[in-house]
Structure 1
Amino acid sequence: MKRRTLLASGGTALAGSMIAGGAAIRSIRRSPGRSVARAENALDRDRIVETLMEGTDRETAAYEVDGSEEGPTAVIIGGVHGNEINGYRVAADVTGWEIDAGRLIVIPFANVVAVERNTRGGPDGDLNRLFPGGREPESDLARAIWRVVEGADPDLVIDLHRSRGLFNTHHRWVGQAIFPTEGAERSTTRRPSSTT
């Protein structure tokens, strides 16, 4: 079965199982003196496929997890907001998964400076706001992340964040949710607007 056909029949289940399966990670915890760089080194370095922003304070890795069978490609991003610990913990856990089919490209610590500072934004502000729909990303880091996404030609992109509430909305936050992008057409030039 071709990966896009498989995705059409089970993509939502794939996304749900990724989120649920990674939710229990306990291996990377914030503690005094433990840097994200040391946490990254604990991940499977053999799975690193690209180092983004190499040689800068924003240097971070993209990992690849391959299944033995053909299947959908998913890109999973954590740590866009450094104070949303759940996102980078889950993404880091995913780098160690064994999967039967398809391919996962994972950037667990997308905004490594913000993760290390435990702040929402990094040196360029809120990374999540630097991907304007229909235009080029607005920082070197955002462009590097987008290059990885485009290069993966994904069927699904999961940007992991923390949320409040399980299935409902709060006056300021959205609960646990999957937001599909608009339209059925795939395009590498069109980006969804930020929602979190």
Structure 2
Amino acid sequence: MGKNKIIISAIIILLFNCVIRAEKKIRPYKEHLVYFKNTPNELNVYKLYGRQDGKTVFILGGIQGDEPGGFLSADLYPDLVLEKGNLIIIPRANFHSIILNKRGVNGDMNRKFQNNKPKDVDDQIVNLIKQFMSESDLFLNLHDGWGFYRDEYIDEMRNPYRFGQSVIADADFYVKENGDTISLKKMADTVIEKVNKKIINPEHHFHFMNTRTNEPNTPFADQRKSATFFALTNYNIPAFGIETSKNLKDLELKIRYHNYVINEFLNLMGVEPEHPAILYEPPRLIYAMIVVNDRFPNMVIDGSVLNLYKGDNIKVTHIESNYKRGLTCDILNVGSEQDYMKDFEITQTTKIIFRKDNFNIGEVGINVNEMRTDYVVFLTEVNGKKQLFFQNDTLKIHRGDKLRIINVLIDGMESTSLTVNLKGFVPNVKYNTGEDRGYLIDTGNLYWKKYSLYGMGKVYPIVVTRGAKEVAKAFLRLQ
């Protein structure tokens, strides 16, 4: 008995090890995590693992929604393949504020890292960011700031209180709990020296900015609530803010400058990527797919108009753009700023705004018509002979007659958008959609009295619907 237990234990251990090996992914590989999906606060997290393990760099963009240089530069990195090291990328930490082109919707998210108990969705996102900091060896927070940082005052736009074109740290150096020192200024100076060699205009050169966050007389005490300060003091990892200037008129230039700095930090940490092309193409809508009443897909392009009837339901099921990330659709006066993959009843004329981040890339009009059923014709066959009748009419036939509902015609309405259902008839098919046109119906088998008027088994309604809305009705009387 004891020998059998040993053998069984050995088999279990062997099987467990096989499962572990099967689950272990082969480098390089990527993970894509999504939180708050299909909401204005959707958070996409990309984890990239290189062929060889190494340091992990965490790149955070879009914590403030009116700084496109940061989130668009971060957005160039999720498609990389890494030779060595790892990346964690959150291009759009505060997607709702990006859509609205505001610094923050619920206040400044970059001042919520001292909060302990989540009060709103921003705090939940901040807690997720903290979690990814704990997995990292370096944290980079991407921003756009006003003016141009200089150590000494030159003028209103170039002085120690401006943030643009700077690499920011909370101290020159930081002593960790184990006694080791993080040389923040030395790391930043190494990066800045290499970056500035690539920047032709000296006015655009980067400078190191020490906010002296923990010193009692710092003018930047508010930074104690920031992401970089939290990463440095709680996880003892080097953390930097990278700021390009909001006064640079060329968005492509902001993106390029950010990527220069990011790439040099990756090099400093030994993370070896295939660098993304620093090219910026204006975003555009190629087409979108909109499903009406759960049945009819419509392909629409920028400037087109979708004609509906009052009460129709729509769902945007696909957005095709020259970009894959940061896409939203907003049905005005319906839903929220993110209406993608959601069902909505449309009751008034409106339009759909398609956006990449806060850039409008296309508009589709929705024209709502009042549903009119002044002219309704029911086309049928009874024992092979065609008969027609109108809205609210009653077709009188004998029980046992063979009936075929050919079509229902409603003026101004596509027949394919309708469902015609003879109550009490169930076709011999696996999946009954409620559509009864085309079937040869033996009226001698209509015995479902509960569907007949007054439960008498003599008069059965023929009901026409468009989506969930009834648009016409007639009756079948069995004599």
TM-score normalised to the size of structure 2? Answer: 0.27
Q: 2:36 matched to 1:59? A: no
In the other structure, the counterpart of 2:71 is: 88
Aligned to 2:124: 140
- 1:177 equivalent to 2:167? Answer yes
Deviation at 1:140, TM superposition (A): 1.7
Contact 2:148 2:162 in 1 (8 A): no
Q: Using the alignment, how far apart are the partners of 1:155 and 1:116 within structure 2?
A: 31
Q: Is contact 1:52-1:145 (8 Å) kept?
A: no
Supply the RMSD in Å over aligned alpha carbons.
3.2
Query: Which residue among 130, 138, 143 is the counterpart of 1:161?
Result: 143
The equivalent of 1:108 in structure 2 is: 91
> In the aligned structure 2, how far is the partner of 1:167 from the partner of 1:71?
33
Alpha-carbon offset, residue 173 of structure 1: 2.3
1:130 aligns with 2:123: no
Report Cα offsets for 1:149-192 as digits up to 9, x if no partner. Answer: 32xx2100111111345662635422411426633348978269
Q: Is the 8 A contact 1:52 1:144 kept in 2?
A: no
Identify which of structures 1 and 2 has the higher relative contact order when contacts are C-alpha pairs closer than 8 Å and 6+ apart: 1
The amino acid that maps onto 1:143 is: N
SS in 1 for 2:87: strand
| 1:53 maps to amino acid | F
Mark the CA change 1:185 to 1:101 in structure 2 (over 3 Å): closer, same or farther. farther
Q: How many residues align?
A: 146
Pair 155,137 (structure 1): closer, same or farther in 2 beyond 3 Å: farther
Instruction: Give the CA deviation at 1:144.
Output: 2.3
- Tell me whether 1:118 sits opposite 2:101 in the alignment: yes
Indicate conservation of the 8 Å contact 1:82/1:118, yes or no: yes
Q: Which has the larger radius of gyration?
A: 2
- Amino acid of the residue matched to residue 190 of structure 1? N
Moved more, 169-178 or 153-162: 169-178
Cα displacement string for residues 73-115 of structure 1 (whole angstroms, at most 9, x for unaligned residues): 0111000011000110111001122322110000001000011
- The one-letter amino acid of 2:34's match is T
Aligned counterparts of 1:161 and 1:191: Cα–Cα separation in 2 = 22
Partner SS, residue 100 of structure 1: strand
Deviations 1:47-74 (A, max 9, x none): 4432123454311110012211121101
Compared CA separation, residues 168 and 96, structure 1 to 2 (3 A): farther
* Counterpart Cα distance in 1 of 2:177 and 2:37: 34
Q: 1:83 to 1:173 in 2, by over 3 A?
A: same
User: Quick check: which one's strand share is greater?
Assistant: 2
Give identity over the alignment, percent.
26
| Contact 1:73/1:154, CA 8 A, preserved across alignment | yes
From the superposition, tell whether residues 127 and 69 of structure 1 become closer, same or farther in structure 2 (CA, over 3 Å): same
Structure 2 SS opposite 1:162: strand
> 2:309 maps to which residue?
none
- Of 37, 46, 51, 1:68 maps to 51
Question: 1:10-53 CA distances to partner (integer Å, 9 max, x unpaired)?
Answer: xxxxxxxxxxxxxxxxxxxxxxxxxxxxxxxxxxxx94432123
Unpaired segments ≥5 residues, structure 1: 1-45
2:144 is paired with a residue whose SS is coil
SS in 1 for 2:102: coil
Per-residue CA distance 1:93-144 (angstroms, 9 max, x = gap) = 011223221100000010000111111112x211000112xx6375122112
Question: 1:43-58 alignment to 2 at 5 Å?
Answer: 47-54=30-37, 56-58=39-41
> Equivalent residue for 2:234?
190
Whether the 8 Å contact between 1:80 and 1:111 is mirrored in structure 2 is yes
Name the structure 2 match of 1:24. Answer: none
Give the unaligned 5+ runs of structure 2.
Answer: 1-28, 152-158, 179-229, 244-479
TM-score (norm 1): 0.62
